[in-house]
């Protein structure tokens, strides 16, 4: 069990910038012009994680990312899509392109002075229907709290 982190190349990688301007923004809307929205993992970091997993006899199984309550705290022009722990059309696109079997979304929101979160795991849409819905997977989170405490 390992987690690898990657940088977001949207502001530095010409290929990432081009993909967003030519594919993502026209397909999913102007909210994705915001370079701080829609994290894109740096291909070098992904390759490094893949090679490290191979060296350890492991494989990459999926992704974990967060959705904030952007529909409440984002700029007014970017509040149209209500986020949750469910995949957005953009998530379905990414999950379908990577074809990783497990993709976890953590939804984080603030209500008054408290933070709340919800987790859900998703399989990518079928390869022949990439615009269809993702399948929700059972998710169990183990905590390290001792029983009976």
Annotated domain spans of the chain: 1-58, 61-149
* Residue 102: strand pairing partners: 62
* Residue 136: strand pairing partners: 122
| pLDDT, tens only, 106-122 | 999 988 899 999 999 99
Residue 32 has pLDDT above 90, yes or no: no
Tokens representing residue 11 in the block = 């502001």
| pLDDT, tens only, 42-89 | 989 999 999 999 999 999 999 999 999 888 888 887 787 789 999 999
Q: Are 39 and 47 in contact (CB under 8 A)?
A: no
DSSP 10-29: GGT-HHHHHHIIIIIHHHH-
What is the pLDDT, as a whole number, of residue 57?
95
Q: Are 121 and 136 in contact (CB under 8 A)?
A: yes
Residue 105 sits at φ, ψ, to 5 deg, of -120, 130
């Amino acid at each position: 069990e390992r987690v690898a982190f990657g940088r977001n190349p949207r502001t530095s990688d010409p290929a990432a910038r081009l993909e967003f301007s030519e594919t993502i923004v026209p397909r999913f809307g102007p909210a994705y012009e915001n370079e701080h929205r829609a994290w894109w993992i740096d291909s070098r970091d992904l390759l490094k994680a893949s090679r490290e997993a191979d060296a350890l006899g492991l494989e990459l199984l999926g992704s974990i990312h967060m959705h904030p309550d952007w529909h409440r705290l984002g700029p007014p022009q970017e509040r149209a899509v209500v986020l949750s722990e469910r995949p957005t059309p953009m998530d379905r696109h990414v999950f379908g392109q990577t074809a990783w079997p497990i993709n976890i979304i953590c939804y984080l929101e603030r209500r008054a002075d408290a933070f709340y979160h919800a987790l859900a795991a998703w399989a990518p849409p079928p390869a022949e229907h990439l615009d269809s819905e993702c399948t929700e997977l059972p998710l169990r989170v183990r905590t390290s709290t001792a029983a009976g405490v």
